[in-house]
Amino acid sequence: MYRVQLSESYLPAQADEPVLETTVGGVLRAQAARTPDAEALVEADGTGTLGRRWTYAALLAEAERLAGALLARYRPGERICVWAPNAPEWVLLQYAAGLAGLTLVTANPAYRPRELAFVVEQSRAAGLFIVREYRGNPMAQIAAEVGKDAPGLREIVDLEDHAALFAGADEAGDLPQVAPGDAAMIQYTSGTTGFPKGAVLHHRGLTNNGRFYARRLGARPGETALNFMPMFHVAGCVLATLGAVQTGGRMILARLFDPGRMLDLVEAEKVEMILGVPTMLVGLLEAQKARPREVGSVRVAVGGGSMTPPEIVRAVVGAFGCTFHIVYGQTEFSGLVSMNGLADSFEDRCGTVGQPYPQTELSIRDPASGAVLPVDAVGEICARGPTTMLGYNDNPEATAKAIDAEGWLHTGDLGTLDTRGFVRVTGRVKEMIIRGGENLFPAEIENVLLEHPDVAEVAVVGAPDARWGEIPICFVRLAPGARLDPEALKLHCRERIAPQKTPAQWIEIGEWPLTGSGKIQKFVLRDRFVAGEFGS
């Protein structure tokens, strides 16, 4: 890794890897030309049973056919939304949209109607690609409801109905020229005003971020990676997918994460690479302890998405006999900002998120003044590089707050940079809660709860949790005459937002800790909760 001796919390961009002028469709074409007969994609269904398989040549042919079908129905530059769990058709649509010059909008399959409606409308999606149902969520029914009030939405397509998916393929003409700087994807993140913002990500950023990840892991041609990270997130569709395609890897795509079934696949398929958030890794460790499998094929495990405790790192290394990499990223940076390298010490793997990516500048700045801080001082982590997003969709004000005039992305995360250029993440400037690797936004949950007649005021904070990293805790001041009914409030949330956003604990409060300007001091509530003031 980089041999530097820093005197302040600023690391210049390192040029150990070049920035390539690549596109999402272009990297698939290039790999299909290099290794047409190598296996590229393997389906693992909801039970963990292997199904369909594609070589690189077959994957490209089907993606090009789907791109032609899309261009029979959409114009280059239009947006299409994919609202589905991990499925081979998700991967096909990602490559096809890239080849067709369309922007793919990703949506969490756990979304409820109001969440999906916001993403469809805010992104100006012309098409919505779904599955009929997933884990009890009636997606076809919800999509139909949302479609009635979305005038720009021209069609709703079942991904698993290939006649509908490939409609128009026989009428296809030539595919367009797609530029590396063109928008390729919109992912929604970092909501602070009730709903998330759509980060517009370009081809160059996505493809280089995935390649940097694979290179730093030492990924090898033909190596098997098990991808159970959700495809709607950069971990699934960028790191795992675009990382594998640029190294000629074999990706097993799991529709559903079940720890025992994932371990069965590791054993049967000799999986060499796994990537998961701490909650998933804990699940794998528990399942392995309950019924040991032969997992010695695993060469490397990767953890990220929230704080990865050192004890989890040690436990994974002990159980799998592999190396472990902690990663740190931002959707707004197309994936990762920093990660451990193969040569890093065990102590650095446990206690840091490694050094920044190639071609990436990183600095730690005073959140108030913006000044670069001395080494080892806690401040806001800021990054600048070729994978920075284009901006937030139709939100120039939010874009200007996130990316300053000099091109620095202000992550909202607190951390330090040591003299060797290793990064530590210590907390967050912003209020976002990371539960099991998924971003939860307090303002969104609070707005839902304020619709309940028993709620007068509410504050949602993140509290530490050994399994999930963080969980949402709700403090509520009730309306006059109301009684706290946690089950009723829970049901109210479950009907309106995804289950993981529902607070794990409900605490009635009579008087808020306030700032001088009358704002609720959420950090005080959190500190009091952690100290045990409100009971278990």
DSSP code per residue over 92-138: HHHHHHHHHTPEEEEE-TT--HHHHHHHHHHHTEEEEEE-S-BTTB-
Asked if the structure places residue 2 within a domain, the reply is: no
Domain co-membership, 488 together with 389: no
Say if residues 207 and 23 touch (Cβ distance below 8 Å): yes
Q: Are 222 and 274 in the same domain? A: yes
Same structural domain for residues 171 and 311?
yes
Task: Give the Cα separation of 166 and 155 in Å (integer).
Answer: 13
Q: How many CA atoms lie within 13 A of 225 on its CB side?
A: 32
- The alpha carbon dihedral of 508, 498, 226, 214 has a sign of negative
Q: State the total domains in the chain.
A: 2
| 123 touches 203 (CB < 8 A) | no
Question: Do 365 and 380 touch, CB atoms closer than 8 A?
Answer: yes
Q: Are 482 and 473 in contact (CB under 8 A)?
A: no
Q: Does 413 lie in the same domain as 437?
A: no
The answer to whether residue 115 sits within a structural domain is yes
CA–chain centroid gap for 96, Å, is 21
Q: What is the pLDDT along the chain (536 residues), one digit of tens a residue?
A: 899 999 999 999 999 999 999 999 999 999 999 999 999 999 999 999 999 999 999 999 999 999 999 999 999 999 999 999 999 999 999 999 999 999 999 999 999 999 999 999 999 999 999 999 999 999 999 999 999 999 999 999 999 999 999 999 988 789 999 999 999 999 998 543 456 899 999 999 999 999 999 999 999 999 999 999 999 999 999 999 999 999 999 999 999 999 999 999 999 999 999 999 888 898 999 999 999 999 999 999 999 866 677 878 999 999 999 999 999 999 999 999 999 999 999 999 988 999 999 999 999 999 888 999 999 998 999 999 999 999 999 999 999 999 999 999 999 888 999 999 999 987 777 777 888 888 787 878 988 998 899 998 899 999 999 889 899 999 999 988 999 999 999 999 999 999 999 999 999 999 888 755 456 888 889 989 999 998 75
Q: Does any domain span residue 3?
A: no
Question: How far apart (Å, rounded) are the C-alpha atoms in residues 165 and 152?
Answer: 19
Local structure of 324: helix, strand or coil: strand
Verify that 261 and 304 share a domain, yes or no. Answer: yes
For residue 5, tell me if it sits in a domain.
no
CA distances from 65 to 71, 100, 126 (A): 10, 10, 20
> Per the domain annotation, does 351 fall within a domain?
yes
The tokens 């032609």 sit on which residue?
68
Q: Has residue 255 been placed in a domain?
A: yes
In this prediction the pTM is 0.87
Q: Is residue 230 part of a domain?
A: yes
> Which CATH number characterizes residue 60's domain?
3.40.50.12780
**Beta strand ranges found along 97-243 (DSSP E):** 103-107, 125-130, 155-158, 183-189, 197-202, 224-227
Q: What is the CATH number of the domain that holds 493?
A: 3.30.300.30
Do 220 and 321 reside in the same domain of the chain? Answer: yes
Query: Does residue 444 sit in the same domain as residue 405?
Result: no
From 386, 417, 448, the end of a domain falls on 417
Domain boundary (368, 391, 417) is at 417
**Does 32 map to a domain?**
yes
3-state secondary structure at position 298: coil
The span from the CA of 44 to the CA of 51, in Å, is 6
Q: Measure the CA–CA gap between 69 and 82, rounded to whole angstroms.
A: 16
Domain final residue, candidates 417, 441, 474: 417
Statement to judge: residues 150 and 230 lie in one domain: yes
Domain shared by 60 and 185, yes or no: yes
Residue 32, SS3 per DSSP: helix
| 3-state helix, strand and coil shares in percent for the chain, rounded to the nearest 5 | 35, 25, 40
Residue 131 and residue 212 in one domain: yes
Residues spanned by the domain of 462: 433-530
Q: Which of these, 281, 260, 301, lies nearest to 437 by C-alpha position?
A: 281
- What's phi and psi for 59, nearest 5 deg? -65, -40
Q: Are 275 and 368 in the same domain? A: yes
128 and 161 share one domain: yes
